[in-house]
């Protein structure tokens, strides 16, 4: 609403500059005088030949005075009104006087004949007035050219005293109106004064006079001041002798030549007049005669404070912007609250709409981008799988959810930098989660990503960090894992948590559980998964020091039909299988080699690779193999376990040595390692049970696969599909 008002206001501000004021138009034909003395003479009247519309309007100008040239009556013209079709002209007063001494009458009466002229006596503004004592004055007049009547009034008075000024109602003065359409007048007197009257009233008068001009004065009775005087009367003039309707049928004779002109029937009879339409002024009888009135030149056109705007044919008053007319009589503008508020509101609404549109646009753009990534990472495959597989326990997180959970990837929430990306601590629905923001993903792997997610999400082992979900709406996928509170094994034996005591049996438990997890990946997962980056830093410990293998960033899913060749060898120095380095072929035995190094770490609490020592001592595995050969293994052992069960330690060392075999084929499988470690653990727990047969133990993986991990997630975990705009 406000906006519309605003536009209108602007329009009004611009408008005046469009309607330029034209210099006042001519009122006469070209080359004709436009006035005589002080009296303007507009067309259709004209002074001299060829200046008027017809002969009847042709005036003569003798220096200052004008004379109509109606054939039997000529009069001075005082004034011509174009719009009213009237003229004020002079007319002599008729009189009849009686000379007491000579006993003679001197009568002068006038007749005015306007028949067959475009003039008529105006019946509304003129009065027939008779002045005298006991005088009958009357008029003989002709209406509508042919109908003749007479009429008049009697003015009676016996005594001078009975007269009063300004009263013309029968005593000394009488008046009457004339009929409409009068075109001929003849004044007559019937005088029945007695001699007594003659003494004070020598003359009687009869006259036609413009009603508003005549005021009776008793001196008119006694003195002879009206003798040989003229009155001013109003005559109507008109064009043609037909009505507008018939006049308009003949365009060439139609007198209203100007645009913006209209035709008016003459008020006193046949014939018509032309006028300019409202808002225009000028001479409607001339082409281009009607001009727009610039009403704004009139200071009173608008109220004080208002702005005046001239429009074609009209004008508009408006208060300055933000104000409005008071509706009472005060000529003032007041603050227009409703307009003000309206404008404000509309501006606010417009801003909101604009902002809204912007937001929607940006959202669309964003969701397009999101969708693109989603598509690229095989999100639809994943979504389908999730939908078809209720209780799958895997969530596709929205970008927003992830951002909220990590407080927009606040660096305070970082819990680790891995080779594959950065890991944040996050909270999602009151659960602690670990959120891993991967580094840039290999283009060729992108399409497989969704598939991989499905496989990884199906891994359900108590010693493997559970993948809870992922977010695909970002350039680089974000993975959401269960949160493991106690950090990595590496930190435990080497890093920040160094110093906390880890008993041999705890180390054995961690080793066994890790081996279990890897065995599961190698043999129970479908397709098999090679971890690719087994190291102490990738083994997490929960609050009960239960091992949780994590980080499958470098892992390779092995399709049964083809070998896996890796173009870029990934992994960590000190843990890398030498054969893998040469062949670039990642096998389950590569993981075995790396696991051997982890076993060494558990035994020695030394780093897999050290840079502050001699070159040949850098690699823990080399040092170990040398030590084993020289039977100096004891020197390498962590002080904390040195005094512990040496037999158990040596069994683990032997196992590690097998794992570190240069020939991959000769290394044991993860399954075998897990079994061996289980056996060694039991040996440690029950040294008396040497004869304990490990084969009789419960199936290795059976119990595990039903475990949901320590997270305690509801089996019917909600499938959250919050993918939208």
Ligand X SMILES: *[C@@H]1O[C@H](CO)[C@@H](O)[C@H](O)[C@H]1NC(C)=O
The residues carrying an active-site annotation are: 533
User: Does residue 83 touch ligand X according to CB under 6 A?
Assistant: no
**Cβ atoms 230, 92 nearer than 8 A:** yes
For ligand X, the binding residue among 17, 49, 562, 724 (CB under 6 A) is 49
For ligand X, the binding residue among 17, 18, 20, 146 (CB under 6 A) is 146
**Cβ atoms 577, 590 nearer than 8 A:** yes
User: Does residue 422 touch ligand X according to CB under 6 A?
Assistant: no
List the structure tokens of 179. 């009929």
User: Does residue 53 touch ligand X according to CB under 6 A?
Assistant: no
DSSP label of 475: S
User: Does residue 181 touch ligand X according to CB under 6 A?
Assistant: no
For ligand X, the binding residue among 164, 229, 351, 390 (CB under 6 A) is 229
Kindly tell me the burial class for residue 411, based on how many C-beta atoms sit within 10 Å of its own C-beta (0-12, 13-18, 19 or more). Answer: exposed
Which stretch of DSSP H or E encloses residue 271? none
Q: How far apart, in whole angstroms, are the C-alpha atoms of residue 56 and residue 110? A: 21
Radius of gyration of the chain (CA): 61
User: Does residue 263 touch ligand X according to CB under 6 A?
Assistant: yes
Where do runs of H (alpha helix) occur along 442-529?
A: 443-458, 489-493, 504-519
Quote the least distance from Cβ 8 to ligand X, whole Å.
33
Quote the least distance from Cβ 66 to ligand X, whole Å.
9
Residues 269-288 close enough to bind ligand X by CB under 6 A: 288
Question: What φ, ψ does residue 351 adopt, rounded to 5°?
Answer: -60, -45
**Cβ atoms 140, 148 nearer than 8 A:** yes
How many chain residues touch ligand X (CB under 6 A)? 48
Q: Is the dihedral of CA 60, 64, 65, 66 positive or negative?
A: positive
List the structure tokens of 531. 């971890």
Quote the least distance from Cβ 36 to ligand X, whole Å.
10
CA-based nearest residue to 533, from 514, 510, 552: 552
Quote the least distance from Cβ 102 to ligand X, whole Å.
4
530 prior amide bond cis, ω within 30: no
User: Does residue 30 touch ligand X according to CB under 6 A?
Assistant: yes
User: Does residue 265 touch ligand X according to CB under 6 A?
Assistant: yes
User: Does residue 164 touch ligand X according to CB under 6 A?
Assistant: no
For ligand X, the binding residue among 109, 222, 241, 486 (CB under 6 A) is 241
Interface segment toward ligand X; rule CB under 6 A; list 24-32, 454-462, 630-638, 647-655? 24-32
User: Does residue 419 touch ligand X according to CB under 6 A?
Assistant: no
Interface segment toward ligand X; rule CB under 6 A; list 73-81, 440-448, 590-598, 676-684? 73-81
Q: Are strands 323-325 and 333-335 parallel, antiparallel or unpaired?
A: antiparallel
**Cβ atoms 196, 157 nearer than 8 A:** no
List the structure tokens of 206. 């009869």
562 prior amide bond cis, ω within 30: no
Quote the least distance from Cβ 170 to ligand X, whole Å.
18
Residue number with CB closer to ligand X (238 or 397): 238
User: Does residue 244 touch ligand X according to CB under 6 A?
Assistant: yes
CA-based nearest residue to 219, from 154, 295, 164, 162: 164
DSSP label of 178: -
User: Does residue 35 touch ligand X according to CB under 6 A?
Assistant: no
Quote the least distance from Cβ 145 to ligand X, whole Å.
4
For ligand X, the binding residue among 60, 83, 106, 500 (CB under 6 A) is 106
Residue number with CB closer to ligand X (74 or 177): 74
**Cβ atoms 667, 658 nearer than 8 A:** yes
Interface segment toward ligand X; rule CB under 6 A; list 192-200, 228-236, 483-491, 682-690? 228-236
User: Does residue 444 touch ligand X according to CB under 6 A?
Assistant: no
User: Does residue 245 touch ligand X according to CB under 6 A?
Assistant: yes
Residue number with CB closer to ligand X (210 or 532): 210
Quote the least distance from Cβ 277 to ligand X, whole Å.
12
Quote the least distance from Cβ 158 to ligand X, whole Å.
21
Interface segment toward ligand X; rule CB under 6 A; list 240-248, 297-305, 332-340, 559-567? 240-248
Residue number with CB closer to ligand X (120 or 535): 120
SS3 of 214-250: CCCCCHHHHCCCCCCCEEEEEEEECECCCCHHHHCCC
Residues, the chain: 725
Q: Cα 243 to chain center, whole Å?
A: 57
User: Does residue 24 touch ligand X according to CB under 6 A?
Assistant: no
For ligand X, the binding residue among 199, 250, 351, 526 (CB under 6 A) is 250
User: Does residue 217 touch ligand X according to CB under 6 A?
Assistant: yes
Q: Cα 28 to chain center, whole Å?
A: 56
Residue number with CB closer to ligand X (133 or 519): 133
**Cβ atoms 577, 588 nearer than 8 A:** no
One DSSP character per residue, 511-579 reads HHHHHHHHHIIIIISSS-EE-S---GGGEEE-TT--EEE---TT-EE--TTS--B-SS--S-TTT--HH
Residue number with CB closer to ligand X (108 or 297): 108
Interface segment toward ligand X; rule CB under 6 A; list 68-76, 121-129, 380-388, 428-436? 68-76
Residue number with CB closer to ligand X (117 or 343): 117
Q: List contacts with ligand X (CB under 6 A).
A: 25-26, 30-31, 39, 49-50, 62-65, 74-76, 78-79, 81, 88, 90, 92, 99, 101-102, 104, 106, 108, 145-146, 165-166, 202, 215, 217, 219, 228-230, 241, 243-245, 250, 252-253, 263-265, 288
């Amino acid at each position: 609403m406000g906006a519309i008002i605003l536009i209108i206001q602007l329009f009004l501000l611009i408008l005046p500059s469009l309607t330029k004021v034209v210099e006042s138009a001519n009122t006469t034909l070209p080359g004709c005088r436009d006035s005589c003395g002080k009296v303007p003479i507009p067309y259709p009247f004209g002074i001299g030949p060829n200046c008027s519309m017809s002969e009847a309007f042709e005036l003569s100008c003798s220096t200052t005075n004008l004379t109509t040239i109606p054939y039997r009556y000529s009069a001075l013209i005082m004034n011509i009104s174009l719009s009213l079709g009237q003229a004020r002209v002079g007319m002599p007063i008729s009189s009849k006087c009686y000379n007491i001494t000579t006993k003679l009458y001197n009568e002068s009466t006038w007749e005015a004949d306007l028949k067959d002229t475009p003039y008529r006596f105006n019946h509304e503004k003129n009065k027939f007035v008779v002045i005298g004592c006991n005088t009958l004055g009357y008029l003989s007049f002709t209406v509508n050219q042919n109908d003749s009547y007479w009429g008049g009034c009697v003015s009676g008075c016996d005594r001078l005293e009975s007269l009063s000024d300004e009263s013309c109602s029968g005593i000394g003065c009488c008046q009457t109106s004339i009929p409409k359409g009068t075109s001929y007048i003849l004044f007559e007197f019937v005088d029945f004064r007695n001699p007594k009257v003659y003494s004070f009233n020598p003359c009687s008068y009869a006259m036609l006079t413009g009603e508003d001009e005549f005021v009776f004065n008793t001196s008119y009775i006694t003195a002879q001041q009206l003798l040989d005087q003229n009155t001013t009367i109003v005559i109507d003039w008109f064009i043609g002798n037909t009505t507008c309707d018939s006049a308009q049928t003949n365009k060439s004779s139609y007198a209203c030549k100007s645009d913006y002109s209209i035709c008016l029937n003459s008020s006193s009879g046949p014939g018509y007049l032309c006028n300019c339409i409202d808002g225009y002024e000028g001479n409607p009888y001339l082409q281009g005669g009607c001009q727009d009135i610039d009403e704004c030149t009139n200071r009173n056109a608008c109220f004080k404070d208002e702005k005046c705007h001239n429009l074609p044919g009209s004008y508009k008053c408006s208060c300055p912007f933000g104000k409005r007319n008071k509706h009472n009589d005060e000529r003032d503008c007041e603050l227009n609250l409703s307009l003000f508020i309206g404008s404000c509101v509309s501006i606010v609404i417009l801003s909101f709409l604009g902002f809204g549109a912007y937001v929607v646009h940006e959202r669309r753009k964003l969701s397009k981008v999101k969708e693109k990534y989603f598509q690229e990472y095989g999100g639809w495959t994943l979504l389908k799988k999730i939908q078809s597989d209720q209780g799958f326990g895997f969530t596709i997180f929205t970008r927003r959810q992830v951002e909220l959970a990590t407080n927009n990837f606040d660096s305070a929430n970082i819990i680790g930098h891995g080779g594959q990306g950065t890991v944040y601590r996050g909270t999602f629905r009151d659960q602690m989660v670990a959120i891993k923001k991967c580094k840039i993903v290999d283009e060729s792997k992108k399409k497989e990503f969704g598939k991989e997610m499905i496989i990884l999400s199906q891994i359900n082992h108590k010693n493997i960090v559970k993948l809870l979900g992922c977010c695909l709406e970002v350039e680089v996928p974000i993975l959401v894992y269960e949160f493991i509170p106690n950090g990595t094994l590496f930190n435990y034996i080497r890093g920040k948590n160094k110093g906390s005591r880890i008993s041999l049996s705890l180390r054995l438990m961690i080793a066994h559980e890790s081996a279990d997890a890897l065995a599961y990946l190698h043999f129970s997962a479908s397709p098999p998964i090679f971890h690719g980056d087994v190291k102490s830093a990738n083994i997490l410990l929960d609050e009960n020091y239960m091992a949780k293998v994590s980080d499958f960033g470098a892992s390779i899913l092995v399709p049964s039909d083809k070998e896996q060749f890796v173009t870029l060898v990934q992994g960590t120095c000190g843990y890398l299988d030498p054969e893998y380095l040469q062949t670039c072929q990642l096998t389950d035995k590569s993981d075995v080699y790396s696991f051997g190094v982890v076993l060494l770490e558990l035994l020695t609490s030394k780093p897999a690779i050290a840079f502050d020592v001699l070159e040949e001592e850098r690699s823990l595995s080399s040092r170990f193999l040398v030590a084993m050969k020289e039977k100096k293994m004891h020197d390498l052992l962590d002080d904390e376990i040195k005094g512990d069960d040496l037999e158990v330690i040596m069994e683990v060392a032997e196992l590690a040595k097998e794992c570190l075999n240069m020939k991959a084929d000769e290394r044991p499988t993860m399954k075998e390692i897990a079994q061996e470690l289980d056996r060694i653990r039991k040996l440690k727990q029950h040294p008396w049970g040497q004869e304990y047969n490990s084969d009789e133990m419960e199936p290795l993986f059976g119990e595990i696969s039903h475990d949901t991990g320590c997270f305690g997630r509801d089996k019917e975990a909600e499938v959250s599909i919050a993918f939208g705009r």
